[in-house]
Chain A
Amino acid sequence: MADLQDEPHSVGVGAEDLPVPAGPETKASALDRAAALLSVHPVADGCNTLVWTLRQSPYHDIETPDAGVDTDIPRLRAGGVGAQFWSLLVPPQGRAGEDEAGDQVVSDTLEQIDAALTLVRRYPDSLRLALSADDMADARNRGRIASFLGPVPGRALAGSLGALRAFHALGVRILAPAGAPWAQETLTAFGHEVVHEANRLAILLDLTGCEPAAARRLAGASKAPVIISNTAAAALNPHPGNVPDEVLLAVREANGLVMVTFDSARTGDSLHAVADHLDHVRAVAGPEGVGLGAAFGAEPPVVRPSGLTDPSGYPRLIAELLDRGWPESDLALLTWGNAQRVIRDAEFTARRKASPAGV
């Protein structure tokens, strides 16, 4: 639906007014160009786990930088982040002190949603709850970081579409099937129902962590684009969390989006290594299928690639990609356009499902 793209694939009006460095022979440095680009096409990042981290150690004020956690508002601002998917996944062991793993995943997920809503409400000058692609554009126009809730874990559905609709009513817009009993090697009949209902509600499916076979089936079953919110290319690094080219192609086929993480274990430990993964994903999934999902929001000692240790690093990464010859139109897709497109496409799919003619 390229004709419905919200943004022209180029640097917008504001960038033309940027100061041009003196001297006819010097052009703007790549970093300046990156900053200019991000001011118009900010980063829509697919994964940040701050909500869980703050629940474990609630003594952070994210309005002030703190070495204890890698995400705060000043660094999100410095990095040019304009939209964030706040992951609400619950570690498999669930609530501390519970004997039966998983018995608390529904309440834990409701607690994650509550904590995320509280976070957004606490920083109204910086964060703005986003429920739709329109909200995403609206937040950017107001200089706020559009905050999407999700993914929630698929196993929190506990066999119940009522729970999925409750999560949607509470503001959740992304669901991660990985680990759910209905999305293992095969997609069960209930799994198909979940995909159908997620499509009907415009909830994006995040295939991060799914086995390649399950990922392909989910991508095939979904009528709306799917995403992989934080991953890297297995072709470059055969880490179990990275996706093979067959999955990249399946996502491309489904007009989906693969968002590349910044994690030394998966991408390699330099900014260049991350750029290599982005090159590869762009080559295989296409310029319209590549995005950013750093998966910040953790406490040390998660090892990050040098230069990308916190959200303030995005402009350096964009500068590197400019140096590698990425056209600005592709960069605009990478940072913002693709994420906005998949959300809007999911909304179109939902509307089509809601209208009898589209059945």
Chain B
Amino acid sequence: MLNLNLYINSAGIISGAGNNMSDGFLQQVPDYSAYALTTVEPDYKEYIPVMQLRRMSKAVRMGVVASKTAMQQAGIESPDAISIGTAYGCLQDTESFLGKMIDQDEQMLTPTAFIQSTHNTVAGQVALLAGCNGHNLTYVHRGHSFEHALINAKLHMQQYPGSHMLVGAIEEQTPNSVKALQYAGAVAKENYTLEDVLAGKLSAPVCGEGAAFFSATEQPLNKQSVKVSALDVFKADTTVAFERIKQFVAQAGPFDVFLSGANGEKTNHAFYQRISTELVTGLPVTSFKQLCGEYPVASSFALGMLWHRVYPGLQGNFKNVLLVNNHCDYYSCWKLEL
């Protein structure tokens, strides 16, 4: 368990349940009409000149606008450093260049898609647009990409106390990425409803995507700041994971609400229920993946939701939040203080 003690002071979020730019965060019911949840995107023209916008893939657009929103809310033009997580990176541009390379037998290719296909494109664009010459990292470690970006923020602040960092996560889905994940059995092929997800009836989770960026500092900047006080990250099977979560609860507790990363898939749902009944018995439980879908950096959406003090299905105010997330055996346990 790491005592991070970082404060999240603002959030820029684009998700399947709306964004917190033009349309008011979580004002929209996610669209379950297809087998995957796609993001409700803001009107980018308000944030990015049209000429630049035309060249940007969805991942870059979402990342740039989510980061701008987080910076505006925190009252900064540019952060001191940038730390980003994205497991899949810029899929749209990768596929674009790959498809043309194969169709054209490696000839007459143009560089734009290749340039924008690298995993650090979003972090690079954010730095470029904000004129940020500071530390800049991109983590691509599956279901821990966002968590590692946060740990990196802590490491950076230890070296440069007082840094105001931008920490974020981004994942875009494409028809082909969803197809590949379906083939691997990692996401659903069928259409489900939000109620199905909450009931834990799914044979595979609903594929999601999204962007969430945050201002992060060592001291709170406003009354809404959320403290990430402790974080534990590990990859494990459910037996080992259960014991590790038990340890985390004992060390970091007590908590007064449990934010579950349950994604609706049957065994996954049962695992979170077991945490609820055996490890945090009697604690109010809420969840978030019915709003954003399952994707490697979905914990960033949960953090944004908490920053907005939203607890789906629950009333009241909470102080100490236990967040447990699991993406394909990549677990993270969080203690968040509101």
Q: Check if A and B associate.
A: no
- A-side residues, CB < 8 A to B, are none
- B-side residues, CB < 8 A to A, are none
